[in-house]
Amino acid sequence: MKAETGAAATPATGGKAVAHSVAESSPGLRWLAGLVVVVYALVTMIPLVWILLTGFKTPQDSISYPPKVVFEPSLEGYVNLFTNRSRQTPEYMASLPPPETWYDKLVRSRNMVITGPSRFKDRYVNSVIIGFGSTFLAVFLGTLTAYAFSRFRVPLQDDLLFFILSTRMMPPIAVAIPIFLMFRELGLSDTHLGMILLYTAVNMSLSVWLLKGFMDEIPREYEEAAMVDGYTRLQAFFKVVLPQATTGIAATAIFCLIFAWNEYAFALLLTSGNAQTAPPFIPIIIGEGGLDWPAVAAGTTLFLLPVLIFTVMLRSHLLRGITFGAVRK
């Protein structure tokens, strides 16, 4: 056994440190551990930082070799993201009145004129509407259901809870086939309402499981005391339990929002024009001669930024959220 040979060396180092936990290892080791973690963190941040930078490059700089780390920042990517442009002849360009705005000027320096706003803003707004709409519904229904599961003996409770969780196991494409047909029958294809209902259903499992965990942690004594004082069950729920559960509800809402925000498969298959969200749109931002990388990077940056901020806000609840409340620290 390897462990036996190692044992001889340990008392020398470990003998004095009996009172210490393993976490409190020697400063040298701790320093080394920190170094490895920091290096890993920095390396995994390269892609995100690179995309952020690319959003401020010109299309030429974005495909230069070797890749440019130092470059002259430009807002061309962001202007291209929000506008449609068309290339014009030099004669036509010369005949135009002088540009009115900085972005007009930028586009004209490329021998193009702005023909109108692009669809990116609409897609982003769709993401916001559908994200918030479905989050509200999922958290509203989830709070009620979680309370019932947490406080009462619901018939078939475990089966129902497992059933709710198992809805998450289906591949989205498998569900998308009948949903596609159903929405077509009901006129919900490519509508905000259809997507809100769909994302609500997908988020129900997360919302019920997480909120049940949070509700379980609120002592029953609070509402029982209130009910002794003459509150009815519903009053106790609204006035005693809900205020106690605010943090949990907020955390759950953010998780649901992030899911709806990030969702791609359903959005790709069930929406096209009217209700399309940003994820299926970002890959098809086309410039002249292929993808317009700075515009794609700009769209990516604007799309990912809210999630990054929310993640930092959520960090103490992150573990619960990603395990459906199974691990609570």
Partner 1 sequence: MNPGPDRTVRAGASAPARPLARRVRGLSDRAVVWLFVTPTILVLLAINIFPLLWTIWLSFTNYRANRPNAEVEWVGLRNYERILNKEDIWEYLQATAHFLSWTMILQVIIGFGLALLINRQFRGHSFWTTVILLPMMLSPAVVGVFWTYLFQPQTGIFSYIVNVFVDVGPLDMIGSVDLAPWAIVMVDTWMWAPYVMLICLAGLRSIPDYVYEAAEVDGASAWRRFWSITVPMVLPFLMLAVLFRAIENFKMFDMVVELTSGGPGSTTELASINLKREAFEKWRTGYSSAFAVILFVTVFGAANVYVKAMNAVKRR
CA distance 115 to 217: 57
CB-based contact 173:269 (threshold 8 Å)? yes
Question: Residue 30 interacts with partner 1 (CB under 8 A)?
Answer: yes
| Touching partner 1, residues 217-256 (CB under 8 A) | 222, 225-226, 229-235, 237, 239-240
Report in angstroms how near the CB of residue 41 gets to partner 1 at its nearest. Answer: 5
* 3-class secondary-structure state, position 287: strand
**Which CB, 85 or 317, lies closer to partner 1?**
317
Report in angstroms how near the CB of residue 114 gets to partner 1 at its nearest. Answer: 25
Question: Residue 38 interacts with partner 1 (CB under 8 A)?
Answer: yes
**Which CB, 26 or 115, lies closer to partner 1?**
26
Cis peptide before 66 (omega within 30 of 0): yes
- CA torsion sign for 292, 294, 297, 301 is negative
Report in angstroms how near the CB of residue 10 gets to partner 1 at its nearest. Answer: 5
In the chain, the largest separation of any two C-alpha atoms, in whole Å, equals 89
Question: Residue 25 interacts with partner 1 (CB under 8 A)?
Answer: yes
Mark the segment that binds partner 1 (CB under 8 A) among 44-52, 71-79, 84-92, 116-124. Answer: 44-52
CA distance 168 to 165: 6
Report DSSP state, residue 284: G
Span between the terminal Cα atoms of the chain, in Å: 35
**Nearest alpha-carbon partner for 59 in 317, 313, 298:** 298
Question: Residue 51 interacts with partner 1 (CB under 8 A)?
Answer: yes
Question: Residue 93 interacts with partner 1 (CB under 8 A)?
Answer: no
CA distance 275 to 130: 8
**Which CB, 44 or 95, lies closer to partner 1?**
44
CA distance 198 to 204: 10
CA distance 98 to 297: 30
Mark the segment that binds partner 1 (CB under 8 A) among 98-106, 114-122, 245-253, 301-309. Answer: 301-309
The residue type of 149 is F
| Touching partner 1, residues 253-292 (CB under 8 A) | 258, 261-265, 269, 279-280, 282-283, 291
CA distance 297 to 81: 9
Question: Residue 144 interacts with partner 1 (CB under 8 A)?
Answer: yes
Give the contact letters, 179-208, x = binds to partner 1 (CB under 8 A), - = no: xxxx-x------------xx-xx--x---x
Mark the segment that binds partner 1 (CB under 8 A) among 72-80, 100-108, 116-124, 177-185. Answer: 177-185
Question: Residue 310 interacts with partner 1 (CB under 8 A)?
Answer: yes
Size of the site for partner 1 (CB under 8 A): 121
**From candidates 101, 166, 247, 274, binder to partner 1 by CB under 8 A:** 166
